[in-house]
Structure 1
Amino acid sequence: MVDSATSVRATVQLGQLSVADTALPLLVEPLDTRNWRAVIDDIQAAIKDHLEQCGGVLLRGFDFNGEEDFREFAQTFGHDLLSYDYASTPRTKVDSGVYTSTEYPAHQIIPLHNEQAYTLSWPMRIWFHCVTASPEGGETPIADSRKIFQMLDENMREKFAERELLYVRNYGNGLDLPWQKAFGTEDAQQVESFCRANSIEFEWKGDGELRTRQRCQAVAQHPRTGEMVWFNQAHLFHISNLPQQTRDTLISIVGEENLPRNVYYGDGTPIDEQDLDHVRSVLDQCQVVFPWQEGDVLMLDNMLAAHGRSAFSGNRKIVVAMAEPMVGGQLV
């Protein structure tokens, strides 16, 4: 929680959301001017002091005027904004380094996850900006990845940590992103070069489509705080994340080996679905949900805080930026 002695800076006020009995997220609001540029020094000082304690900061009440303004704000933290390489979900680029949030149908829920935890490289920083708040639903739930790690059954957690995870993806065929979208290129040789550079096994199948396999972490240690976090997307990639009827239909049509995505232990053996049910239960218990307000900016430490998306109705526009790459366990 925020120490009362540090709850007010010269130009911004720090507090907690009334809906959350947790330090996540820290709320930062203007005291006088809503011009974020005029108070950027105090905003950055608050984030520097608190982000790695609470995992996320919500800026509310400032004048962020759309995607270009949001991009400029994210860039003030001194890192180039990242492109969305090796994509897992459909997005649209709206500005340099700024993308729409995942473009899944409004009725679908996106479970809590850490960005790009299904690979060996990921952003340490991720920002979300609410351009248009949906009239119903559409929240971006968040959760403390340290708390998730601590609440998981210790034996199960150690099993995942030791055995690691193998993510298997089959692209295209109308079932998932085509490889051209996932890798951002039409050039198969560029895809192969990317895969080799990132320890991704690849296979061009008889129909011309691509299959990849990558062995990755199930848990990780934060490079600055030293804390352990639950850091993977097994519960998202695993076939058990689909409704039973959809799951059965897919397997009957393409077979398990050609599912759009699935995940196994690192040696390729099946994961116990009861373990993933336990993971999903803990995620639900750790989830913090608050309604978006237009103009909000949420900044997360991507290793310390997971995020998701609630179902919604009406118009909703949340844009995203990422920075500070972690590659092979090292900050770049």
Structure 2
Amino acid sequence: MSNDIREAPAEIQLADTVFQKGRTRLPVVNAPTGASDILDHGWHASIDAHLARDGGVLLRGFADMSIERFHDFARSFGSPLLSYEFGSTPRSEVTKGVYSSTDYPAHQWIPQHNEQAYTTNWPMKIWFYCDVAPGDRGETPVADARAVYQGIDPALRERFASRKLMYVRNYGGGLDLSWQQVFNTDDTAVAEAYCRAHQIEWEWKEDGDLRTRQICQAVARHPRTGEDVWFNQAHLFHVSSLEDTTREALLDLVEEEDLPRNVYYGDGTPISDAELDSVRAVYDAHRLDFAWQRGDVMMLDNMLLTHGRAPFSGPRRIVVAMAEAHAA
């Protein structure tokens, strides 16, 4: 990849347009007249200011965009791009540090979430690049995690915050990612070392598959802005996230403790469907959709703005890069 990052001395004025729904804002920066290369402009400080205030920015209209230019742009912020470790969904590596946004059936929604909020280590910055715009739908909605935090019923918010969350994962068995995929190894000792280093409890089952449990945060405080955010993936991991027929079929096949993924309060007590339905409703109330255009780059503060994916038809190629690892 090229390291040819050219900084312009002039300050760039951002936010020609702002997409907004309620408290969720996404400033849109259109390429200056005559500009073709996203690396030609020294606007990192301005982008960082927008990230702190709005949580994200959409860069649009750069004619010569490519996956290589996207890689170089993400890398130009000064931190090495992260590999996708301890993942919860299938991804394909497109080039070093750049991944498919999630290899998931096109007809299904991916609910709003902060990347890797189901563990205690996550990226602070995340970039998306639209290489092929979807033919129909296929948006990557965003929602402000500060607004979601404020919108959660205070009693439920306090319950989640004080009791924390325990994520339980059962790998493989033809039902979910294998432990080899998740830990990027075939060596059980390497997987165990990762678990040990990240305070993840592990158990090898009789069939040779792996079960893990990890207690994690339900809310978090942003290390730079000091703001509280709703920061977990309970609504994705909980069995209530499945369609009724899928849930019933899975529970006919396996016991609850052997479900591919589930979540409980940190002390192991159940979280009710109704509690998580109320959380999903708050996400929906703050979800902002926008239509991708070929060449768009969206940069997010992963703690301040959540992302998701709408169902789509036709071709669609959105790739993602992540940087700035942060530990709870």
Tell me, yes or no, if structure 1 residue 183 matches structure 2 residue 179: no
Verify the 8 A CA contact 2:20 2:26 in the aligned structure 1. no
Alignment partner, residue 25 of structure 2: 24
Verify the 8 A CA contact 1:26 1:56 in the aligned structure 2. yes
Tell me, yes or no, if structure 1 residue 156 matches structure 2 residue 156: yes
Deviations 1:194-240 (A, max 9, x none): 00000000001000000000000000000000000000000000000
SS of residue matched to 1:25 = strand
Alignment partner, residue 98 of structure 1: 98
Distance 1:212 1:21, change over 3 A: closer
Report the alpha carbon displacement of residue 69 of structure 1 after superposing the two structures with TM. Answer: 1.2
Superposed, 1:1-332 pairs within 5 Å as 13-17=14-18, 20=21, 24-32=25-33, 33-39=35-41, 41-42=42-43, 44-327=44-327, 329=328
Return the alpha-carbon distance in structure 2 between the equivalents of residues 124 and 113 of structure 1: 13
Return the alpha-carbon distance in structure 2 between the equivalents of residues 319 and 128 of structure 1: 6
Alignment partner, residue 4 of structure 1: none
Distance 1:64 1:113, change over 3 A: farther
Return the alpha-carbon distance in structure 1 between the equivalents of residues 124 and 277 of structure 2: 27
Report the alpha carbon displacement of residue 252 of structure 1 after superposing the two structures with TM. Answer: 1.4
Q: Which amino acid is the alignment partner of residue 38 of structure 1?
A: D
Deviations 1:139-161 (A, max 9, x none): 00000000000011000000000
Distance 1:255 1:66, change over 3 A: same
Report the alpha carbon displacement of residue 282 of structure 1 after superposing the two structures with TM. Answer: 0.3
Note the residue ranges of structure 2 that are not aligned, 5 or more in a row.
Answer: 1-9
Alignment partner, residue 3 of structure 2: none
How many pairs were matched up? 318
Report the alpha carbon displacement of residue 167 of structure 1 after superposing the two structures with TM. Answer: 0.2
Distance 1:287 1:18, change over 3 A: closer
Report the alpha carbon displacement of residue 31 of structure 1 after superposing the two structures with TM. Answer: 2.1
Report the alpha carbon displacement of residue 10 of structure 1 after superposing the two structures with TM. Answer: 5.4
SS of residue matched to 2:48 = helix
Identity of aligned residues (%): 55
Return the alpha-carbon distance in structure 2 between the equivalents of residues 253 and 64 of structure 1: 51
Q: Which amino acid is the alignment partner of residue 175 of structure 2?
A: L
Distance 1:25 1:104, change over 3 A: same
Return the alpha-carbon distance in structure 1 between the equivalents of residues 189 and 127 of structure 2: 32
Return the alpha-carbon distance in structure 2 between the equivalents of residues 276 and 166 of structure 1: 15
Which moved further from structure 2: 45-54 or 101-110? 45-54
TM-score (ref. length: structure 2): 0.94
Q: Which amino acid is the alignment partner of residue 35 of structure 1?
A: D
Note the residue ranges of structure 1 that are not aligned, 5 or more in a row.
Answer: 1-8
Verify the 8 A CA contact 1:164 1:215 in the aligned structure 2. yes
Return the alpha-carbon distance in structure 1 between the equivalents of residues 24 and 249 of structure 2: 43
Deviations 1:1-41 (A, max 9, x none): xxxxxxxx7555423345656562111112221322221x1
Distance 1:90 1:64, change over 3 A: farther
Q: Which amino acid is the alignment partner of residue 288 of structure 1?
A: L
Verify the 8 A CA contact 2:19 2:28 in the aligned structure 1. no
Which moved further from structure 2: 281-290 or 56-65? 56-65
Deviations 1:273-292 (A, max 9, x none): 21100000000000000000
Q: Which amino acid is the alignment partner of residue 87 of structure 1?
A: G
Return the alpha-carbon distance in structure 2 between the equivalents of residues 64 and 223 of structure 1: 35
Return the alpha-carbon distance in structure 1 between the equivalents of residues 64 and 260 of structure 2: 38
Verify the 8 A CA contact 1:139 1:289 in the aligned structure 2. yes
SS of residue matched to 2:16 = strand
Which moved further from structure 2: 22-31 or 68-77? 22-31
TM-score (ref. length: structure 1): 0.93
